[in-house]
Structure 1
Amino acid sequence: MSSPPTRRGLPGIDGRDREPGTAILSLDLGTRTGWAVLGRDGSITSGSESFKPQRFEGGGMRYLRFKRWLAEIKQSADGLDAVYFEEVRRHAGVDAAHAYGGFMAQLTAWCEHHGIPYQGVPVGTIKKHATGKGNASKDEMMAAVRARGHAPADDDEADALALLHWAIQHHDAAQED
């Protein structure tokens, strides 16, 4: 049995001075996927979702559950204007690398199917934006996100929130060009 998703909402941290209407999803992909959504009203909601393989489940079922979950997120956000994900170049093990590749393939195919622009952002870029150093620890990332007014339950949610703040800044700058 998988643990329930965690969801936390925080009204317009970065959304106060923004054009209303942009919905952005940021993801820290993995068996435990961290996520954060900037809603069209400027509110930020975040959490983490487990895609751990279930007992008696085929190997591809976790990816089907991931796609179904993406559809639920899209619907609850009243559509998505952009998706950003943490682009990992190095993994601790083969299983983690395979899982990440599967989630990334599903995500990018899903975005293509729905016509949603997507972008991978290197881990070091996200860490540098959040903490000032590209090799920040999990604790430093959690502290940086807490300093922005969030209360992440785990490092996956913290990474997704840090990525969302990076994405908001860079998405808005790209829209002005």
Structure 2
Amino acid sequence: MNPRVIGLDLSLTATGVACWDGRPLSTIRTVASEGDERLRRIAVTVRADAFDYLTNTGCDLAVIEDLPTHAHSAGITGMVHGAVRCVLMELGVPYALVPPATLKKYATGKGNATKPDMRMALYRRAGIDVRDDNQCDAWWLQAAGLDYLGHPPVELPKDQRKALTKAKWPAILPFAGVGGAA
């Protein structure tokens, strides 16, 4: 059985989600919501995407694009990270943090890749054409988690896969994969 990994590209206005259960890529849009209601909406949706209460099953790992180094202690996106991490902890879902440059290096081979570069890499490697940058990043985050756990969804050059060593992986994971999971 493949590990169940969810990819989350967190943002207050448009959070990209690659679900573990095969649902299409999606975006949690909160533009119509106000204030902290946006945080609650994201948290509630991530809870529903990370765990299926009908079957009592959830994902084995969540992979989140980390905040840029200069933004770790402040900012609205940090509030989104806090809300989502609390939900994942409540559900008992371990999560990994992948720096933006690491995700870009993994997907394209370049740590300074542009959004169009990321979309083109997704199309070339997986045949998936998405116009939403948030969904594209969520797919690559999910792919990074699957790859780390030994189930890469696409073939990538060794140098690109090596970028995964720069991510912050949880110490205890349900699968021990090629990527070096503990």
Q: Identify the TM-score tier after normalising by the shorter chain.
A: 0.7 to 0.9
Unaligned runs of 5+ in 1: 1-18
Cα contact 1:47–1:153 (8 A) shared by 2: no
Is the Cα–Cα contact under 8 Å of residues 47 and 152 in structure 1 kept in the other structure? no
Q: Which residue of 2 aligns with 1:128?
A: 105
Residue 17 of structure 2 is matched in structure 1 by 35
Separation in 2, partners of 1:117, 1:161: 18
Show the counterpart of 2:95. Answer: 118
AA in 2 matched with 1:81? D
Which residue identity lines up with residue 47 of structure 1 in the other structure?
S
TM-score, normalised via structure 1 length: 0.74
Matched residue pairs, number? 148
Equivalent residue, structure 2, for 1:159: 137
* AA aligned opposite 1:168: L
Stretches of structure 2 lacking an aligned partner (at least 5 in a row):
152-174
**Bigger proportion of residues as strand:** 1
CA RMSD of aligned residues (A): 2.3
Task: Name the aligned partner's letter for residue 9 of structure 2.
Answer: D
Q: Which residue of 1 aligns with 2:7?
A: 26
What SS does the corresponding residue of 1:33 show, helix, strand or coil? strand
Compute the TM-score of the two structures, normalised by the length of structure 2: 0.72
Structure 1 residue ranges (4+ consecutive) displaced by more than 4 angstroms after TM superposition: none
Q: CA deviation at 1:151?
A: 2.1
- Helix, strand or coil at the partner of 1:45: coil
Sequence identity (%)? 28
Cα pair 1:53 1:61 within 8 Å, conserved: no
Q: Structure 1 residues 140 and 44 mapped into 2: Cα distance closer, same or farther (>3 Å)? A: farther
